[in-house]
């Protein structure tokens, strides 16, 4: 079975849960040998250099020159000449220096230069691209790779809706690839890039993760006739509720219509999908996320203070404000309580101000970004872990905390509560209820001990092999080849 997987950065830094899930699934899929052997060609936007080490091979490099979009030909101006991907020939057989050149690797990576990130909204996109340009402009130019001869400043724009899109960008010293002007345009450009770069690749199934990769999935499906599996780690209804971007919803609906199978990460998420989209029930499968160990539980040292941890993007859906308001209630009653918000995000300035306003700034620490190598230590320093999200299709971080023996609080209805029972539940958005749970865990050592020991036992069985096994069955179903 050969799978073309349209995924996200392997690093949790950029992609949150969806990146972790993609990595866990792809690696578990490709671990099996023999009749179960599954090969994964993993396509993702932009290489950052922090993907899983070893055992992967990088195919494409940026910048790309892409075949013009069919629509571009209808527009005025000279049609762009279709150019082959820079990695000439079947790219799979041309290893990059510095990567493992073993042609029979089951898992290969193909990166495509793009500023796409999971959870971007249309308005964040412009900011993200602007930031990226600024960063690139400020960074010393790398000499390791030769500067692209065909500087893409005038390269044909894949979407080419307007003449503006093809106009040279205004940062002349930086090799700026022709990113889409809007998020939607970039999603579309990405889809064409994927199509162009995978033309020589054989595959049996296409597996697309979250809406931004789904247009690529649909395009590949149309061109290759291979079945599409559309995997929703979250849907727009969950991310932004009623305020969700209409375009994102439309793409999600189109993918649901086109896909042979629709996957989601929990029963709760399945209910949301069914309530918000037209969805043929027979297509839907629940594939609960799992855990990739982040470390081993360390012995707890006695401490004078007790720490309650938030770890995740500082974004509205994750409810960091609910966390802070609950923290303020606990702080009032428990002088020993301290609070840590680990993660970065657009809400940081507001949250910092909120902590001041609540009078708990001195007891709150914002750590900023936490890298994969710091994860275990961050969890390990906490007495309580809180997932304060308003809605949480799954919540992999809760599994990580439990795997390190940290008692965990999650919102009622979170997908993770479908697979573990050793968590405390609170009413989403209810800061008083959350405060009650936080304080309870600080003052009831027997409860903390129970959640810690029972939680460890529960997550021990929740590895990615299980969903990967289910997934092989799903692939076989749609590809109609024996698993």
Partner 1 sequence: MTAVVFYFQVHQPNRIERFKLADVGQEPPRPYFDDGLNRLIVERVAERCYLPMNAVIAEAIEDTGGRFRCAFAITGTLLEQLERWAPAALDSFVALARTGAVEFVCETAFHSLASVGGTAEARAEFAAQVELQRARLKDLFGLAPRTFRNTELILDNTIARQIEELGFACQLGEGVDALLEWRSPRRVYRPQGCRRLKLLLRDYLFSDDIAFRFSNRQWPEYPLMADRYAEWLHRAAPEDVFVGLFMDYETFGEHQNKDTGILDFMAHLPRHVLADERFTFATPAEVAEGNEPVAELDVPRTLSWADKERDLSAWLQNDMQKAAHARLYELLPKAHAAAAAGHPELLAAWRKLSTSDHVYYMATKWHSDGDVHEYFTPYDSPHDSFLYYMNVLDDLALRLERLPARRRRARK
CB of 111 to partner 1, least distance (A): 43
Query: Is the Cβ of residue 93 or residue 412 nearer to partner 1 in the bound state?
Result: 412
CB of 427 to partner 1, least distance (A): 11
CA distance 61 to 34: 32
CB of 424 to partner 1, least distance (A): 6
Beta bridge partners of 209: 231
CB of 385 to partner 1, least distance (A): 15
CB of 357 to partner 1, least distance (A): 23
Query: Is the Cβ of residue 359 or residue 461 nearer to partner 1 in the bound state?
Result: 461
Closest CA to 75 of 160, 158, 168: 160
Query: Is the Cβ of residue 251 or residue 417 nearer to partner 1 in the bound state?
Result: 417
CB of 170 to partner 1, least distance (A): 58
Query: Is the Cβ of residue 68 or residue 435 nearer to partner 1 in the bound state?
Result: 435
Query: Is the Cβ of residue 303 or residue 444 nearer to partner 1 in the bound state?
Result: 444
> Cα-atom radius of gyration of the chain, to the nearest Å?
23
Q: What CA–CA distances, in Å, run from 11 to 25, 46, 48, 65, 102?
A: 14, 12, 9, 26, 23
Query: Is the Cβ of residue 302 or residue 446 nearer to partner 1 in the bound state?
Result: 446
Query: Is the Cβ of residue 371 or residue 461 nearer to partner 1 in the bound state?
Result: 461
- Taking a C-beta distance cutoff of 8 angstroms, is the pair 329, 339 a contact? no
CB of 386 to partner 1, least distance (A): 15
Query: Is the Cβ of residue 254 or residue 425 nearer to partner 1 in the bound state?
Result: 425
List, in sequence order, the alpha helices (H) in 358-464.
Answer: 372-380, 396-403, 431-443, 445-460
Query: Is the Cβ of residue 264 or residue 441 nearer to partner 1 in the bound state?
Result: 441
CA distance 57 to 288: 28
Query: Is the Cβ of residue 443 or residue 460 nearer to partner 1 in the bound state?
Result: 443
CB of 407 to partner 1, least distance (A): 10
CB of 29 to partner 1, least distance (A): 29
Name the strands in the sheet holding 364-368, side by side, starting at the edge strand that comes first in the sequence.
364-368, 337-342, 306-311, 384-386, 408-411, 424-426
Query: Is the Cβ of residue 200 or residue 449 nearer to partner 1 in the bound state?
Result: 449
CB of 100 to partner 1, least distance (A): 43
Query: Is the Cβ of residue 252 or residue 439 nearer to partner 1 in the bound state?
Result: 439
Beta bridge partners of 368: 342, 343
Burial group, residue 195, by CB count within 10 angstroms (0-12, 13-18, 19+): middle
Closest CA to 257 of 215, 306, 302: 215
CB of 392 to partner 1, least distance (A): 18
CA geometry: angle 350, 356, 362, nearest 5 deg: 120
Q: Which residues bind partner 1 (CB under 8 A)?
A: 333, 421-422, 424-425, 436, 439-440, 443-447, 449-451, 453-454
Q: What CA–CA distances, in Å, run from 20 to 127, 135, 228, 264?
A: 25, 25, 21, 15
Query: Is the Cβ of residue 205 or residue 459 nearer to partner 1 in the bound state?
Result: 459
Closest CA to 453 of 407, 399, 421: 407
Phi and psi at residue 321, to the nearest 5°: -70, -40
CB of 440 to partner 1, least distance (A): 5
Q: What CA–CA distances, in Å, run from 135 to 126, 129, 132, 426?
A: 14, 10, 5, 40
CB of 425 to partner 1, least distance (A): 7
CA distance 404 to 390: 24
Q: Report CA dihedral (214, 220, 225, 228) to the nearest 10 degrees.
A: -30
- Classify residue 36 by its DSSP letter: G
* Longest CA span, the chain: 73
Closest CA to 334 of 445, 427, 436: 436
Q: What CA–CA distances, in Å, run from 348 to 302, 344, 364?
A: 31, 7, 13
What three-state secondary structure class fits 474? helix
């Amino acid at each position: 079975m050969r799978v073309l997987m349209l995924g996200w950065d392997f690093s949790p830094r950029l992609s949150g849960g969806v990146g972790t899930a993609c990595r866990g699934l792809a690696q578990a899929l490709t671990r099996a040998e023999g009749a179960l052997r599954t090969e994964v060609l993993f396509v993702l936007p932009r290489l950052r250099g922090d993907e899983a080490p070893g055992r992967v091979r990088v195919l494409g490099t940026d910048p790309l020159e892409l075949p013009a979009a069919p629509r571009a030909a209808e527009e005025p101006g000279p049609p762009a000449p279709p150019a082959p991907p820079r990695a000439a020939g079947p790219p799979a057989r041309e290893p990059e220096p510095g990567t493992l050149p073993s042609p029979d690797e089951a898992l290969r990576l193909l990166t495509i230069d793009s500023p796409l990130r999971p959870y971007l909204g249309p308005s964040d996109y412009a900011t993200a691209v602007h930031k990226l340009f600024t960063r690139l402009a400020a960074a010393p130019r790398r000499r390791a790779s030769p500067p692209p001869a065909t500087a893409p400043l005038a390269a044909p724009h894949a979407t080419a809706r307007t003449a503006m899109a093809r106009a040279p960008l205004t940062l002349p010293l930086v090799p700026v690839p022709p990113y889409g002007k809007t998020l939607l345009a970039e999603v579309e450009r990405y889809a064409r890039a994927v199509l162009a770069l995978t033309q020589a690749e054989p595959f049996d199934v296409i597996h697309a993760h979250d809406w931004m990769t789904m247009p690529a999935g649909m395009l590949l499906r149309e061109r290759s006739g291979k079945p599409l599996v559309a995997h929703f780690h979250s849907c727009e209804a969950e991310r932004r509720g009623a305020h969700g971007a209409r375009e994102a919803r439309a793409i999600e609906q189109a993918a649901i219509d086109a896909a042979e199978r629709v996957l989601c990460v929990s029963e709760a998420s399945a209910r949301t999908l069914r309530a918000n989209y037209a969805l043929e029930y027979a297509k839907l499968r629940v594939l609960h996320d799992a855990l990739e160990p982040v470390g081993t539980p360390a012995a707890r040292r006695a401490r004078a203070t007790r720490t309650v941890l938030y770890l995740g993007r500082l974004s509205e859906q994750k409810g960091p404000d609910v966390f802070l308001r609950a923290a303020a209630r606990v702080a009032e009653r428990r002088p020993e309580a301290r609070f840590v918000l680990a993660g970065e995000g657009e809400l940081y300035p507001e949250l910092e101000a909120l902590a001041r306003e609540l009078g708990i700034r001195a007891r709150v620490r914002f750590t900023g970004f936490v890298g994969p190598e710091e994860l275990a230590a961050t969890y390990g320093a906490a007495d309580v872990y809180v997932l304060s999200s308003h809605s949480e299709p799954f919540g992999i971080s809760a599994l990580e905390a439990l795997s390190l023996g940290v008692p965990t609080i999650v919102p009622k209805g979170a997908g993770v509560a479908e697979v573990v029972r050793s968590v405390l539940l609170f009413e989403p958005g209810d800061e008083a209820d959350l405060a009650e749970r936080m304080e309870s865990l600080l003052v009831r050592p027997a409860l903390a001990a129970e959640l810690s020991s029972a939680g460890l036992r529960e997550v021990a069985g929740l590895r990615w092999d299980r969903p990967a096994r289910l997934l092989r069955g799903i692939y076989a179903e749609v590809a109609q080849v024996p698993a």
